[in-house]
Amino acid sequence: MHPKQRLENHYLEQRRVQFDFSNTPEHWIYDNPFATHLINAVHLILPVGELWMCRSFNEALPYVKDEKLSADVKGFVHQEAHHASAHKIAQGYLRHYDYDIDQFLVSLDNIFKQIDAAPFGFTLSSPLAYRWLTIRIGIAAAAEHFTTMLGTWCLEDQPWQNNTADKMMSDLMTWHLAEEVEHRSVAFDLYMYLCGEENKTFAYLQRQMIMLAIAPLFTFAIYHCFKKLAQQDAQARHYQNYGLLRSLALTAIENARSKQVPSFFAMISSLRHWVKPNYHPFYEGDTNKALQVLNHSPAVKALTKLRAC
């Protein structure tokens, strides 16, 4: 764990916020089907991925003897579990507008089940099971690097403010991404802890290999989910003819024009930090800024008021 995190003495809490999308328009980022479907892609891919991380972290928890890290892992699991629940509610918003997503979600779930404790159905010996656990936590750390970059972009650019987007969906996305910044270090700290202080070089090389796989898979997954949604929207069907590279280029154009989506190239550029031997997520975001945004979230305010009653 980074020394400055101990000085922060910050403990993660689960904010069981609630959202109602019954009045959310189909294009919740107003007049921008491209941005809407690109951001909506997270409703499809994140819940199953976040629940997979929860299972992996719970499996790792018995190995953690550090009290602060143990508390952080538990807080991380609680937050990610509620993220998954909130995005599952948002999936209902997509079904309301007749998007066919259920078969796709089943396929995603089956993929993640193949990389659980018994990968592809194989039962591993104890040493191999532990090594596979460190790899799975490394996968989570690589994914959290990208969600941290997304969260930092969201906190800095405030992409859906000034009446440019539906307030309820904007609140969901902003709350989620702010919590991603808040707990940005947990997966990395857990990965390094499981690898062991004496195995720093191996841990470094392994996480680089993991990122070589995760970066293209993460990119393709978001692109595939975006295409799945765009193909079912009459106002966005021309995007179904966009290949991967053209779609990625459009994120940079749209980011420069409206700032309503992150630039893919800025995300990839962030990997220059990941490859450094002294990389730590602590430096990739601002906890205080995340907490300030969370304290101004309408859903968090409503929860605080409910608790006060």
Q: What is the pLDDT of residue 141?
A: 98
What mean pLDDT is reported for the chain?
A: 93
Q: What is the pLDDT of residue 122?
A: 85
Q: Is the pLDDT of residue 266 over 60?
A: yes
Q: What is the pLDDT of residue 2?
A: 62
* pTM for this model (two decimals): 0.94
- Indicate the range of 98-102, 148-152, 300-304 predicted with least confidence: 300-304
Q: Percent of the chain at pLDDT above 90?
A: 87
Q: What is the pLDDT of residue 203?
A: 97
The per-residue DSSP string of 185-209 comes to THHHHHHHHHH-GGGHHHHHHHHHH
Q: What is the pLDDT of residue 13?
A: 92
Q: Is the pLDDT of residue 267 over 70?
A: yes
Q: What is the pLDDT of residue 8?
A: 64
